[in-house]
Every structure is written in structure tokens, then in C-alpha cells.
Amino acid sequence: MLRQRLAAALCVVAAIAGVQVAAAAPASAAPRVLYYDASQAQEFVSVVNQGAQIWNSRATNVRLEPVTAGRTPNIRIYADNGWPRAQTTSLGNGRVWMGRQAVDQGYYPPRIAAHELGHILGLPDRRTGLCADLMSGSSAPVSCTNSYPNSRELATVNANFGTSAAVTPQTYVWQPALAGAAS
């Protein structure tokens, strides 16, 4: 009798464990969290946060969060007087410079921030000249204030993080034709 009760109890435990395993499965589809350190972004801290929020409001497979104490950031963000640029090391990892040269020319800072973060999320430059494209960057008019990815760009980012896509380490510069003159 005792043995039967024990067996019944074990069945209940197994059933609960089974439920937990089943419930845990969707957790693997939770967005990957990338931590960014904007502590060296100087006057661009709030605009960098804005760029991160833009991605968080659209992307489902990745989230950008401010780094917390004791944690190594995936992304470090700086400010300097050159062109904005991003240096990727792997998908979701790298460095961004919020270069003042583009801001001084009138480019919209939230668009710059979201664009450069887009590189970290695995998107290359596509100089289409279209304001609707976030990754058109400086090829769109200076007056362009669109700071949101288009549906194709968004789908690519979600696919990148859905499959942990490999990306080639690269440096992307806001205005490559003039990058030499900027240094």
C-alpha cells in the first residue's frame, strides 16, 4: 500500500516535471538580451537609449538593455568628433561611435543611433538613398528623421537572432567616401 502511494506520488512529481519541461520550451524563443554600455557616450546617452528603445519596440528576437553593474557589455558606445561608425566583432557584439561630424551636418541623432545599433544587430549598409530605409544611413537626405527599421530590415534582424547567424567582423562608417578626410 505504501509502495503504491509512493508510486502514485512519483507519478504526480513526474507529471509536474513534465509540465514544467513543456512550459520551459517557449523560453528558448525568448529574445536574446544584449547589454550596452553608454556611459562613455557623453551628450548622446539619451539618444542611444532612444535608439535601443526603437529596436526594442519592433524586434522580437533581441532586446537591448543598459548594462548592469558587474556585467560585461556586448556593446560599448562612445562619442567623438569623427563620423558615426560601428565596429562589429560578432552578431550582437561590438562598438559604436556617435560621431559629432554627422550631427554637426544636421543628420538626425536618433536615426544615427538606431542605424549604428542596426549594424551591431547584423545589418550592413544599404545606400539606397531612401529615408524609409534605416540602413540607407547618410545616403538619405540630411533632413530624414526616420529612425525605425523597415519591415525587411526588421525581418533580417529577427532572423539573425532566431538562428544566431554568423556575421563577419567589420567596421561601417556613416560617410565612407569622406572617412579619410575625417581623421
Catalytic residues: 116
Minimum distance from residue 86 beta carbon to Zn ion (Å): 6
Contacts of 162 (CB under 8 A, 6+ apart): 61
Minimum distance from residue 37 beta carbon to Zn ion (Å): 20
Minimum distance from residue 177 beta carbon to Zn ion (Å): 13
Judged by CB, which is closer to Zn ion: 70, or 167? 167
Query: Which residues of the chain form contacts with Zn ion (CB under 5 A)?
Result: 125, 137, 172
Minimum distance from residue 134 beta carbon to Zn ion (Å): 9
Amino acid present at 170: Q
Residue 139 burial class via C-beta count within 10 angstroms: exposed 0-12, middle 13-18, buried 19 and up: middle
Judged by CB, which is closer to Zn ion: 53, or 171? 171
**Distance of alpha carbon 129 from alpha carbon 118, whole angstroms:** 17
Judged by CB, which is closer to Zn ion: 137, or 149? 137
Judged by CB, which is closer to Zn ion: 25, or 146? 146
